Chains A and B, each alone.
Chain A
Amino acid sequence: MRTYEVLFILSPQIAEEEATALITEFRSVAEKTGAKLKNEEAWGRRRLAYPIQKSTEGNYHLFVFESDGSLAELDRRMRNSDRVLRHIIVRTDEDLKRADKLAKRNPKKERVRPVAAATAEGVGTPGIPAIEGGV
Chain B
Amino acid sequence: MATTSGPRGPRSGDRDRDRGPGGQQGGKKKFFYRRKRVCKFCVEKLEYIDFKDVKMLQQFIPERGKILPRRISGTCALHQRKLQNAIKRARTVALLPFATD
Interface residues of A (CB under 8 A from B): 5, 7-9, 48-50, 52, 58, 60, 62, 85-88, 90, 95-96, 98-100, 102-103, 106-108, 111, 124-125, 128, 131-132, 134-135
- Complex: A98 Cα to B78 Cα, angstroms: 13
Residues of A within 8 A of B20 (CB): 125, 128
Interface band, chain B: 20 to 34
Q: Which of A98, A103, A128, A135 contacts B45 (CB 8 A)?
A: A103
Whether A50 contacts B97 in the complex (CB less than 8 A), given A125-B19, A131-B35, comes out as yes
* B30-47, CB < 8 A from A: 35-36, 38, 43, 45, 47
Q: Which of B19, B38, B93 contacts A86 (CB 8 A)?
A: B93
- Complex: A124 Cα to B5 Cα, angstroms: 12
Residues of B within 8 A of A96 (CB): 48
Whether A52 contacts B94 in the complex (CB less than 8 A), given A125-B16, A128-B22, A131-B38, comes out as yes
Tell me the smallest distance from the CB of A7 to a CB of chain B, in Å: 6
Tell me the smallest distance from the CB of B26 to a CB of chain A, in Å: 15
B91 at interface, CB cutoff 8 A: yes
B interface SS class? loop
- Complex: A103 Cα to B89 Cα, angstroms: 23
Tell me the smallest distance from the CB of A130 to a CB of chain B, in Å: 9
Tell whether, in the assembled complex, residue A125 and residue B1 are in contact, meaning their CB atoms are under 8 Å apart: yes
Residues of A within 8 A of B1 (CB): 124-125
Whether A102 contacts B94 in the complex (CB less than 8 A), given A7-B52, A125-B16, A125-B19, comes out as no
Residues of A within 8 A of B22 (CB): 128
Q: Which of A7, A98, A102, A124 contacts B93 (CB 8 A)?
A: A7
- Complex: A98 Cα to B91 Cα, angstroms: 24
- Complex: A96 Cα to B48 Cα, angstroms: 6
Tell whether, in the assembled complex, residue B19 and residue A62 are in contact, meaning their CB atoms are under 8 Å apart: no
Whether A48 contacts B94 in the complex (CB less than 8 A), given A95-B48, A96-B48, A125-B19, comes out as yes
